[in-house]
Amino acid sequence: MPEAIAVRVKVLSRAVYAAIALVVFVGDQGTKAMVERSISEHSVIPILPHCLNLTHAKNAGAAFGLFSDSPALWKTVLLVVVSAALLATVVGIVWRTCHLRWESGVGLSLILGGALSNLVDRIRVGRVVDFVDVYFRDYHWPAFNLADSAIVVGAGFLILHYLFSE
């Protein structure tokens, strides 16, 4: 492949990956804003009976509410620093890799958009809004948001890539 075409393909693929991250970021920020405007905190709106609710929960902890009950003042600072370091790592991988397979590119883009959105919330207000409540009978998975979903799906893409790549 001539070098000029290879450069164009690389630029185009990075633009697509950036667009995916941007869609996740904007979508997550928008859904969180809608939840904060429309659902009072701790309210529950059934969507699929015995399966799915919308709720409004504020999470000052890590993923799935880990450490949310901790009163430690350093918790938010630590979460911001770790999140920023991980984001810098993801951006560095995408930037330095010349031939990123689509599974890895999409996975890293989803992780980037979700992690960036949650990081912005933590810096801005010290917490994130979670609103998806999945449950079965009395067992409720910890509430989560669109950013969390994108991060998990993105990690799934990376796992698939490493399991099935040559």
Q: What is the per-residue pLDDT across 153-164, written as a single tens digit (0 to 9) for each?
A: 999 999 998 888
Domain ranges of the chain: 3-164
64: left (phi over 0), alpha (psi -120 to 50) or beta: left
Averaged pLDDT for residues 87-91: 87
Check pLDDT > 90 for residue 94: no
Catalytic residue chosen out of the listed positions 28, 121, 133, 148: 148
Per-residue confidence (pLDDT) for residue 45, from 0 to 100 = 95
- Give the model's confidence band at 87: pLDDT under 50 very low, under 70 low, under 90 confident, else very high: confident
Catalytic residue chosen out of the listed positions 28, 121, 130, 133: 130
Q: In the numeric block, which tokens belong to residue 151?
A: 């991060």
Q: pLDDT digits over 33-72, tens only?
A: 999 999 999 999 999 998 999 999 998 776 655 556 666 6
In sequence order, the β-bridge partners of residue 91 are none
Average model confidence (pLDDT) for the chain?
A: 86
Which residues, 6 or more positions from 60, have their beta carbon under 8 angstroms from its beta carbon?
A: 68, 75, 76, 126, 127
130 as an active site residue: the answer is: yes
